[in-house]
C-alpha cells in the first residue's frame, strides 16, 4: 500500500524524519507531501522545503517527496494512496487530527494512521525551531545538518535585507539633507530654494523605502505573534503532558508500594504457614518414631522372654544360645 505523510515541514526536523522512517517500514511506498499555503508566512519557500526534505530522506528506500497544492484527499487520489500517516506529539493533537481523519475518510475512504512521536522528539516542533533560530540559537541537534545550514543562511539573509532597506532609506534622507544644505538662500530669510521635482523624488523614494520597511516589520511582527501563540500553546501542551506523566508515575509508584506491601504480607503468611507445616510434620514423624520405639521395645521383651524359656528348658545360658546354628 502507498501512504502519504503530509506537512508544511518549515523546516523538516528529526521528529518529522522519525515518523517518515517508521511509515516507510509499514508501507510499500511513502510520499512526503510538502504543503503550500499562500496565507502562511513561511521561513522557506515551497521549493526550498521540498529540496530540504528530499535531501533529508535520500537514504530512506521507497520514500518520495512532492509539493502539495489543494486538498489532501485529492492528492491521495492522484498518488493512488490508501492511507495518510500523521505523527502525534500530544493528546491535544489527536483531538484535531481525529476530526480531519473522519472528514478525509468521508470524502474518499482513505484511512488515517496515527503514529505517536518518539519520546526523544516529542517536544520538537518547526515553530520552536524557527523561534530559536530567529534569536540566534543553535538548532543543529534538532534538524539535519543541511537544514541547520539553510536556516542559518535564511536568518542571515533576512537580517541583511532589513539592514539594506534601512540603509536605502537613510541614503535618500541624506541626499535630501544635502540638497537643502547646498540650495541657494532666499535673501533676508532662513529659507532656501530647491528643485521641487528633485526634492519630491527623494521624498518619494524615502517613503517607498519606509513603506517597505514597515511592511517587512509588520510581517515580522505578525509572524512573531503567531510563533509566540503557537509556542505558548505548545508550552501548555508540554506542561499538560508532563503533568499527566507525573500523575501516571505517581500512580505507578503507589501501585508499586501497594504491591510491595502485599508481597511482604504474602511472604509473612507463607513463612508462618511453612513453619506451622514443619511443626506438624515434625510432630507426626515424632509420633511415628515413638510408636516404632514402643513396638521395638515390646518385641525385645518378647525375645528376652523366649530366650529365658529356652534356657530353662534346655539348660542353656545366654552365650550358648547365641552359638546355636541359625535356621535357614
Task: Specify whether the CB–CB gap between 64 and 32 falls below 8 A.
Answer: yes
Contacts 24+ apart (CB under 8 A), 302-311: none
288 catalytic, yes or no?
Answer: no
Q: In sequence order, which residues have a C-beta less than 8 Å from that of residue 224 and are 6 or more positions away?
A: 134
**Active-site hit among 16, 86, 130, 172:** 16
State how far the Cα of 88 lies from the Cα of 131, in Å rounded to an integer. 21
Q: Is 89 designated active site?
A: yes
Instruction: Say if CB 112 and CB 84 are below 8 A apart.
Output: yes
Which residue carries 530654494 as its cell?
A: 193
What is the number of residues in the chain?
328
Let me know: does 92 contact 122? Beta carbons within 8 Å.
Answer: no
**Backbone φ/ψ region at 139: left (φ over 0), alpha (ψ -120 to 50), beta:** alpha
Grid coordinates standing for 44? 522557506
CB 213 within 8 A of CB 158: no
Q: Which of 8, 49, 86, 89 is catalytic?
A: 89
Q: Which of 8, 125, 126, 209 is catalytic?
A: 126
H helices of the chain, in order, are: 14-26, 46-56, 72-79, 91-108, 126-134, 145-182, 196-314, 318-323
Q: Answer yes or no: are the C-beta atoms of 3 and 31 closer than 8 Å.
A: yes
Whether the Cβ atoms of residue 2 and residue 81 lie closer than 8 Å to each other = yes
Tell me whether residue 196 is one of the annotated catalytic residues: no
Per DSSP, the three-state class of 68 is strand
Indicate which residue of 40, 77, 177, 309 is catalytic. Answer: 40
172 is catalytic: no
Beta strands 192-193 and 184-185 are antiparallel
Question: What are the φ/ψ torsions at residue 9 (nearest 5 degrees)?
Answer: 50, 55
Q: Which residues are catalytic?
A: 16, 40, 89, 126
Amino acid at each position: 500500500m502507498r501512504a502519504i505523510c503530509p506537512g508544511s515541514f518549515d523546516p523538516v526536523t528529526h521528529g518529522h524524519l522519525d515518523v517518515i522512517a517508521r511509515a516507510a517500514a509499514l508501507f510499500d511506498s511513502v510520499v512526503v507531501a510538502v504543503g503550500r499555503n499562500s496565507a502562511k508566512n513561511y521561513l522557506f519557500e515551497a521549493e526550498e522545503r521540498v529540496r530540504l526534505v528530499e535531501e533529508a530522506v535520500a537514504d530512506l528506500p521507497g520514500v518520495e517527496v512532492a509539493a502539495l497544492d489543494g486538498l489532501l484527499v485529492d492528492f491521495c487520489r492522484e498518488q493512488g494512496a490508501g492511507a495518510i500517516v500523521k505523527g502525534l506529539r500530544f493528546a491535544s493533537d489527536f483531538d484535531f487530527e481525529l476530526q480531519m481523519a473522519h472528514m478525509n475518510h468521508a470524502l474518499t475512504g482513505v484511512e488515517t494512521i496515527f503514529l505517536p512521536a518518539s519520546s526523544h522528539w516529542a517536544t520538537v516542533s518547526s515553530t520552536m525551531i524557527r523561534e530559536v533560530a530567529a534569536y540566534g540559537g543553535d538548532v543543529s541537534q534538532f534538524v539535519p545538518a543541511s537544514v541547520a545550514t539553510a536556516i542559518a543562511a535564511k536568518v542571515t539573509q533576512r537580517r541583511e535585507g532589513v539592514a539594506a532597506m534601512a540603509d536605502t532609506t537613510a541614503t535618500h534622507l541624506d541626499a535630501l539633507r544635502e540638497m537643502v544644505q547646498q540650495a541657494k538662500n532666499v535673501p533676508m530669510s532662513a529659507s532656501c530654494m530647491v528643485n521641487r521635482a528633485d526634492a519630491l523624488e527623494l521624498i518619494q523614494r524615502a517613503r517607498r523605502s519606509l513603506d517597505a520597511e514597515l511592511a517587512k516589520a509588520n510581517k515580522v511582527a505578525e509572524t512573531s505573534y503567531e510563533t509566540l501563540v503557537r509556542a505558548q500553546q505548545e508550552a501548555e501542551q508540554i506542561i499538560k503532558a508532563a503533568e499527566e506523566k507525573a500523575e501516571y508515575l505517581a500512580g505507578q509508584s503507589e501501585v508499586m508500594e501497594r504491591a510491595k506491601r502485599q508481597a511482604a504480607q504474602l511472604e509473612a503468611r507463607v513463612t508462618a504457614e511453612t513453619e506451622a507445616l514443619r511443626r506438624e510434620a515434625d510432630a507426626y514423624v515424632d509420633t511415628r518414631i515413638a510408636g516404632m520405639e514402643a513396638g521395638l521395645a515390646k518385641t525385645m521383651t518378647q525375645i528376652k522372654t523366649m530366650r529365658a524359656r529356652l534356657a530353662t528348658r534346655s539348660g542353656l545360658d545366654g552365650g550358648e544360645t547365641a552359638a546355636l546354628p541359625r535356621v535357614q
